[in-house]
Amino acid sequence: MNVQIEESWKQQLAHEFEQPYFVRLTDFVRREYAVTTIYPPGRLIFNAFNLCPFDRVKVVIIGQDPYHGPGQAHGLCFSVNDGVKFPPSLVNIFKELQDDLGVPLPLTGNLTRWAEQGVLLLNATLTVRAHQAGSHQRQGWEEFTDAAIRRLAEGRENLVFLLWGAYAQKKGAFIDRSRHLVLASAHPSPLSAYNGFFGNRHFSRANEYLATHGKEPVNW
């Protein structure tokens, strides 16, 4: 199957594209785009991979679902398009970033600038129906994104994985902590941010680890 995805990822995930689950997933997603409003736009489904080639990944942030409101999702977890109001979780991410590193509140919630520095902003599920959170879960996306995380965990060294919330922690449970830095905390959602997300200092800890291993820190 000829999947339109960045070339290094196409090579890494070639085996997945031929699996029965991925063929079923592709058929499902095509039908969904044909009959209803799906986010993100089709050309941005693999945006996280396209902006962050396999060999350039330094940090992985795992989300769950794309945003399901108009104009929000563009293929990067927690990120929204320029000019879109910051969702509550993103507001809390920026608050922690300010407390941790003194970074002023950004003018845009578009995290493309992170992705281009090697931050893979990966949702577990890459598509969603408008206004229906979780509507494309358990269709095959989770298996595909598990495979991508596994390729990174096994094929690269000294990456940083930021696992925010129980869902992300479960998805990243298999990562070898002796080869990578795995930082886990509560989710940045307003429902849980005060239970351990605020004060986790993940951004400075990630940069310290990268610098220690000869990698350029992220300009968050």
Of 55, 40, 38, 49, which is closest to residue 16 (Cα–Cα)? 49
139: its two tokens:
């269709």
26, amino acid identity: T
Tokens of 103: 């970074």
| Catalytic annotation, residues | 65
